[in-house]
Structure 1
Amino acid sequence: MNVIGVPARVNSVMSRSSPAARDAADARPPSAERSSLRQSSLREANLGLVTRTVLAAREPPTRAGVAAATRMTRATAARLVDELVAGGVLDERDPPPVTGRGRPARPLAGGRRIAALGLQVNVTFLAGRVLTLGGEVLAEHTEPGDLRDSDPAAVLARLDALAARLLDRVPGDVRVIGSGLALPGIVAAGSGDLLVAPNLGWSGIRPADHLRRASRAGLPLRVGNEADLAARAAAEVAPGRPGPVLDFIYLSGDVGLGGAAVLDGTVLTGRHGRAGEIGHVCVDPGGPPCRCGSTGCLEQYAGQAALLTAAGLPGDRPLTELTAAVRAADPAARRAIDRAAWALGVALAGAVNILDIPTVLLGGHLAELADLLVPPLREHLNRRVLSARWAAPEVHAPAGTAAPAATGAALVQLADVVDDPARWLPGEK
């Protein structure tokens, strides 16, 4: 006997199926529910498209500009923009002055009411920065100090207090969605534990256990490598807005050296999140011992302390003294610069030959010394890079803010909103 309204063949299959299969069949949403799910998914995708279109624009677009860029109808684009403005993901700016008739269109930009906190520990300073989705810095602070062989609990307690002071300065209508932390060492990608930071003298640290005030009400704390996050800030000049260079090798300089490779705006972190440790590339196996346990590492020639020491200056002196010594034709200072340029050339030429990324961006103390380092470094790269005849390596020291990894740490958190803004709207789960 057949079930009423069901063909015999289908009824026969249903009768022979397992209870689990029948339960799964019963759980399938009816066509109206499936249609509702499809519409919800389409809405979420369109909200993301509108958000990314506005954030990536070089000039703030209007609703009509968003409609044209996304190929939506004006009504659809306007409705989605209204939702995003109401939820704080986007802001409306004041329109430019007009002299003709009609109401001028209001330009759109990333929202000021959503922000993230970025924190950074380096060997010579602590830093924090609160960055909005629109790229505005609401609060920031840098605290200098010598943190070599420091007590991690004490340093992280200072950083947590710094974070709390910054968060207290955030206006009440701003929602801080999370915190990020940049550390100069190897970070376990899954847990956020710091495995080792040789120049700090730290190992086996779980930073989240020490930064309880750095995030509000259990909001997430993400921990990453300092050079990776500084490179992120170079690749993304504001949340969702790519920088002028999308493919580059980034060098982050302080007492030591970190690095990162960026391809199409994405930092290449490797399978375990540990890629980019260019400071510990060996340029001379017979060279001086390094704190990492190896010998002849790049940072023993081009790290800030190594440069100053080679020039006959104390390792904690400002770089202006090294620059002045070179300008005064001091032979030791000149040799220190030339030796650093040689070591950088050896390590970077290897990286360029392997990765085919011929643009190098210098950060930290290397950027401060760019006028002295870049000319000899270019000569070494042109001689050592196999493809230099067809694509000459470029070396730049872009202007930027201090502690760029703090900015990168905030950008990583804000990327969650850029990728899925629907999650952050009122009433959404």
Structure 2
Amino acid sequence: MTGEIDPGALAMLRRLIGHGPLTRPELGTALGLSRASTSPIVNDLVRRGLVAEVSTAPRGGRGRPVALLDLDDENFAVAGLEIGSERVLAGVYTLRGRLLLRNERTVEFDAANPRGLLRHAAAALHEALDTVGQEGRRLLGVGVSVGGLVDATSGTIKYAPILGWRDVALRAGVAEAFGGGVPVLLDNDANFAALAEQRQRRRDGLAATSLVYLSGTYGISAGIITGERLWRGERGLAGEVGHLIVDPDGRACVCGRRGCLDTRASMSAIIAVGLERATAKRRAGVEPDGVAEGVDRLVALAQAGDDGVVDALREAGTWLGRGAALVAAILDPRVVVLGGHYARLAPWMTEPAREAFRTALLMPASDYDELEVSGLDAWAPVEGAALAALISMAEGVQALP
């Protein structure tokens, strides 16, 4: 069923995405609707296959089971795709975020041939969706994640250093490669990962009204949640915190300046310095084939007690904490979350990062955990991209099914 979209139905979907499951009275109260107004909207969404009634144990452990409303997990799917220089990742999820399938492809990257990489990406997604299609689900949308400066409104990569791309109309390219059958949206990896982190925190019963997610994949980007919503800035380019200057007389950066946070705490910088300082040179080996392999080597060396690597990771953690404090001073979030590969290196980086963070804050706060490590894995941008596709539908960008 398509046509004019009921604003009440969209508001209900958004509430369930962010805060479900809920009872009918809780849902109506949250939206300012009477019971008489709530029921027709709920019934319409149930008929469309978007909302379902689920039973749960009695609240407080007594009485009858409680009937709750939540997103229907049986009829539809949303997909996320991450395009990188080393690999493309595709994931398919139910409306409640349950993973249905993941697919990963290693790619031979050619910066001069975006279409070649898009073909790999489309193939990875098709392989995932073919399996899901056997369950009879309908795909509602695809989110595409890329590291770099992204104009989400036009679907254009303004600048992706890891890919060597400038002004690439990626959303149109993915839609074409995918056949144009479903809506496609585009954003950077930190923004999508922040959405996934926000949902996970809500599920864990933690505050999620404001947070900053620092990506640890290629360069350092920030996904910013404020007022419970993703904030992209006036031109959609907010969050490029890797180019905050933390060491004015420091190392040269790819942006042409010196002392950017990226030069001290990005994954490429951490890997280069860590392997250079490795005590066990023969174990460090030749230059790693990409970020993931480089992090694998650092983890192995640090776990083996290599003093040079451990010291390099602690030093990088200190710089990261200083950079995170700058971000916190500007945005004053509830929490700064270290994600991506930072989570893998957390055993060696977190303590010095927190110490530097607390020292650098103008007014250290004591009423919340200031710097945390994400519980999500490296697939967070993919999960968040799929979630963004669902949110886009609930914001009325496309007709409801």
Determine if the TM-score, normalized by the shorter chain, exceeds 0.5: yes
Q: How far apart, in 2, do the equivalents of 1:267 and 1:91 lie?
A: 27
Write out aligned runs for 1:141-180 (5 A): 141-145=103-107, 147=109, 149=111, 151-171=113-133, 173-180=136-143
Distance change (3 Å), C-alpha of 1:173 and 1:95: farther
Aligned-pair distance for 1:325?
A: 3.1
Distance change (3 Å), C-alpha of 1:257 and 1:68: closer
Aligned to 1:203: 166
Q: 1:117 aligns with which of 79, 92, 97?
A: 79
Q: How far apart, in 1, do the equivalents of 2:167 and 2:324 lie?
A: 30
Structure 2: 5+ residue stretches without partners: 59-63, 277-283
C-alpha deviations, 1:71-122, integer Å up to 9, x for none? 755554333322111111112346769xxxxx97754320232332221113
Aligned-pair distance for 1:330?
A: 3.1
Aligned to 2:61: none
C-alpha deviations, 1:400-421, integer Å up to 9, x for none? 2432112222222211333459
- Is residue 87 from structure 1 mapped to residue 48 from structure 2 by the alignment? yes
Amino acid at match of 1:196: Y
Q: How far apart, in 2, do the equivalents of 1:155 and 1:372 lie?
A: 35
Amino acid at match of 1:178: G
Aligned to 1:299: 262
Q: How far apart, in 2, do the equivalents of 1:400 and 1:209 lie?
A: 29
Aligned to 1:29: none
Aligned-pair distance for 1:47?
A: 2.8
Greater displacement, 64-73 / 192-201: 64-73
C-alpha deviations, 1:223-248, integer Å up to 9, x for none? 11111111121113499999643322
Amino acid at match of 1:407: E
Contact 1:187 1:274 in 2 (8 A): yes
Q: How far apart, in 2, do the equivalents of 1:322 and 1:150 lie?
A: 31
TM, length-normalised to structure 2: 0.81
Write out aligned runs for 1:23-172 (5 A): 44-57=6-19, 60-63=21-24, 66=27, 74=35, 76-93=37-54, 106-112=67-73, 113-145=75-107, 147=109, 149=111, 151-171=113-133
Amino acid at match of 1:383: T
Contact 1:189 1:272 in 2 (8 A): no
Contact 1:48 1:421 in 2 (8 A): no
TM, length-normalised to structure 1: 0.77
- Is residue 417 from structure 1 mapped to residue 393 from structure 2 by the alignment? yes
Aligned Cα RMSD in Å? 3.4
Aligned to 1:387: 363
Write out aligned runs for 1:314-393 (5 A): 314-316=287-289, 317-357=293-333, 359-388=335-364
Amino acid at match of 2:89: A
Aligned-pair distance for 1:198?
A: 0.9
Computing the radius of gyration from Cα coordinates, the structure with the larger value is 1
Q: How far apart, in 2, do the equivalents of 1:297 and 1:341 lie?
A: 15
Distance change (3 Å), C-alpha of 1:186 and 1:285: same
Structure 1: 5+ residue stretches without partners: 1-39, 98-102
Q: How far apart, in 1, do the equivalents of 2:107 and 2:171 lie?
A: 22
Q: How far apart, in 2, do the equivalents of 1:151 and 1:204 lie?
A: 13
Q: How far apart, in 1, do the equivalents of 2:211 and 2:362 lie?
A: 17
Q: How far apart, in 2, do the equivalents of 1:335 and 1:146 lie?
A: 33
Q: 1:287 aligns with which of 243, 250, 267?
A: 250
Q: 2:147 aligns with which of 144, 166, 184?
A: 184
Aligned-pair distance for 1:285?
A: 3.2
What is the percent sequence identity of the aligned residues?
A: 28
Aligned to 1:257: 220
Matched residue count: 379
The SS at the match of 2:224 is strand
Q: How far apart, in 2, do the equivalents of 1:300 and 1:80 lie?
A: 52
Distance change (3 Å), C-alpha of 1:382 and 1:204: same
Contact 1:185 1:194 in 2 (8 A): yes
Amino acid at match of 1:85: V
C-alpha deviations, 1:343-383, integer Å up to 9, x for none? 21332222112222262111111111112111111111111
The SS at the match of 1:169 is helix
The SS at the match of 2:101 is strand
Distance change (3 Å), C-alpha of 1:400 and 1:339: same
Aligned-pair distance for 1:69?
A: 5.9
Q: How far apart, in 1, do the equivalents of 2:261 and 2:398 lie?
A: 46
Aligned to 1:224: 187
Aligned to 1:3: none
